[in-house]
Structure 1
Amino acid sequence: MADLQEEPHTVGTGTQDPVAPAPTPARPAGALDRAAALLAVHPVADGCNTLVWTLRQSPYLDIETPDTGVDTDIPRLRSGGVGAQFWSLLVPSDAETGAAESSDAETGGDAGGPDRVVSETLEQIDAALALMRRYPDSLRLALGADDMADARNRGRIASFLGPVSGRAVTDSLGALRAFHALGVRVVAPAGAPWARRELTPFGHEVVREANRLAVLLDLAGCAPAVACRLAAASKAPVVVSNTGAASLNPHPGNVTDEVLLALRAASGLAMVTFDTERTGDSLHAVADHVDHVRALVGPEGVGLGAGFGAARARPRPAGLTDASGYPRLIAELLERGWSEADLALLTWGNAQRVLRGVEFTARAAQHRRS
Structure 2
Amino acid sequence: MTDSISVFDGHNDILYRLLMAPERREAIWLTGEGAGHLDLPRMEAGGFAGGLFAIYIPSPANPADAGIEELMDRPPYALDLPEPLALGPSQAVALELAGQLMWMARASDGRFRLCRTVAEIEAARAAGAIAGVMHMEGAEAIDAGCEALHVFHAMGLRSLGPVWSRPTVFGHGVPFAFPAGPDTGPGLTEAGKRLVRECNALRVMIDLSHLNEKGFDDVARLSDAPLVATHSNAHAVTPSTRNLTDRQLDAIRESGGMVGLNFATVFLRPDGRRDPAMGWEPVLRHLDHLIGRLGEDHVGFGSDFDGATVPEGITDVAGLPRLLAALRAHGYDEALLGKLAWGNWMGVLRRTWGE
Give the TM-score of the pair, scaled to structure 2.
0.82
Give the counterpart letter for 1:350 in structure 2. Answer: N
Distance 2:14 2:303 in 1: 12
Distance in 2 (CA, whole Å) between partners of 1:342 and 1:331 is 13
- Seen in structure 2, the aligned counterparts of structure 1 residues 255 and 84 have a Cα distance that, compared at 3 Å, is same
Gaps of 5+ in 2: 66-76, 173-185, 270-277
- Equivalence for 1:152: 125
In the alignment, the residues of structure 1 paired with residue 105 and residue 245 of structure 2 have an alpha-carbon distance, to the nearest angstrom, of: 35
**Corresponding residue number in structure 1 for 2:168:** 192
Per-residue deviation at 1:234? 1.4
- Which residue of the other structure, out of 216, 220, 224, is the alignment partner of 1:235? 224
Distance in 2, Cα, partners of 1:345 & 1:232: 28
- Displacement of 1:165 in angstroms is 2.2
Alignment partners' CA distance in 1, 2:108 and 2:94:
22
Tell me how far 1:111 sits from its aligned partner: 2.5
Task: Supply the distance in 2 between the matched residues of 1:283 and 1:275 (Cα, whole angstroms).
Answer: 13
Q: Determine if the alignment matches structure 1 residue 285 to structure 2 residue 258.
A: no
Instruction: Quote how far apart the aligned CAs of 1:252 are.
Output: 2.1
Aligned to 2:182: none
Aligned to 1:275: 264
Q: Does 1:87 align with 2:44?
A: no
Report which stretch shifted further, 279-288 or 155-164. Answer: 279-288
**Residue in structure 2 matched with residue 65 of structure 1 by the alignment:** 31
Q: Is the counterpart of residue 179 in structure 1 residue 168 in structure 2?
A: no
Q: Given residue 319 of structure 1, which amino acid in structure 2 is its aligned partner?
A: G
Residues 84 and 100 (structure 1 numbering): CA distance in 2 closer, same or farther, change over 3 Å?
farther
- Cα distance, 1:293 vs. partner? 0.9
Out of 255-264 and 277-286, give the one that drifted further.
Answer: 277-286
Deviation at 1:182?
1.2
Select the residue among 127, 135, 138 that pairs with 2:111: 138
The answer for the alignment partner of 1:320 in structure 2 is 314
CA distance in 1, matches of 2:17, 2:148: 25
In structure 2, what is the equivalent of residue 213 of structure 1? Answer: 202
Inter-CA distance 161–334: structure 2 relative to 1 (3 Å threshold): same
Distance in 2 separating the partners of 1:146 and 1:316 = 31
Preserved contact between residue 52 and residue 87 of structure 1 (Cα < 8 Å)? yes
Change (3 A) 1:79 1:276: same
Q: How far apart, in 2, do the equivalents of 1:167 and 1:57 lie?
A: 18
3-state DSSP of counterpart to 1:83: strand
Q: Is the 2:249–2:293 contact (alpha carbons within 8 Å) kept by the matching residues of 1?
A: yes
How far the C-alpha of 1:175 sits from its partner, in A, is 1.2
Aligned residues: 313
What one-letter code is carried by the residue in structure 1 that aligns with 2:112? L
Q: Distance in 1 between matches of 2:208 and 2:331?
A: 30
Q: Give the match's secondary structure for 1:324.
A: helix
Report the Cα distance in structure 1 between the residues aligned to 2:157 and 2:40, rounded to whole angstroms. 22
Cα deviations by residue, 1:75-124 (Å, 9 ceiling, x for unpaired): 22112211112111112339x9xx999536xxxxx523122222221121
Q: Which residue of 2 aligns with 1:343?
A: 337
Q: How far apart, in 2, do the equivalents of 1:100 and 1:267 lie?
A: 33
Letter in 2 for 1:195: G
Q: Secondary structure of 2:18's match?
A: helix
Q: For each residue in 1:59-80, what CA deviation from the matched residue of structure 2 results, as whole angstroms up to 9, or x when unmatched? A: 3142333422222112221122
The one-letter code of the counterpart of 2:168 is: A
Task: Check whether the contact 1:224–1:256 (CA below 8 A) recurs between aligned residues.
Answer: no
Partner of 1:103: 81
Aligned to 1:27: none
Q: How does 1:226-265 map to 2 (within 5 A)?
A: 226-265=215-254
Amino acid at match of 2:127: R
Percent of aligned positions with the same letter in both sequences? 29
In the alignment, what sits opposite 2:303?
A: 306
* Helix, strand or coil at the partner of 2:55: coil
Deviations 1:6-39 (A, max 9, x none): xxxxxx43xxxxxxxxxxxxxxxxxxxxxx23x1
Deviation at 1:164, TM superposition (A): 4.2
SS of 1:228's partner is: helix
The structure with the largest helix share of the pair is 1
Does structure 1 conserve the Cα–Cα contact (< 8 Å) formed by 2:188 and 2:214? Answer: no
Q: Which of residues 1, 4, 18 is equivalent to 1:55? A: 18
**2:69 aligned partner:** none
AA aligned to 2:81 is S
Distance in 2, matches of 1:103 and 1:71, equals 26
Q: C-alpha separation between the residues in 1 aligned to 2:85 and 2:57?
A: 11
1:185-241: CA deviation from partner (whole Å, max 9, x where unpaired): 111112332222212333222212111212110111011221132133211113211
Aligned mates of 1:303, 1:185 — CA distance in 2: 18
- Of the two structures, which has the highest relative contact order with CA contacts closer than 8 Å and spacing of 6 or more? 1
Shift of 1:268: 1.1
The answer to whether the 8 Å contact 1:284/1:332 transfers is: no
Q: Deviations over 1:144-171 (max 9, x none)?
A: 1111101101110010011242232221
- Provide the TM-score with structure 1 as the length reference: 0.79
What is the 5 A alignment of 1:165-176? Answer: 165-176=138-149
Letter in 1 for 2:47: G
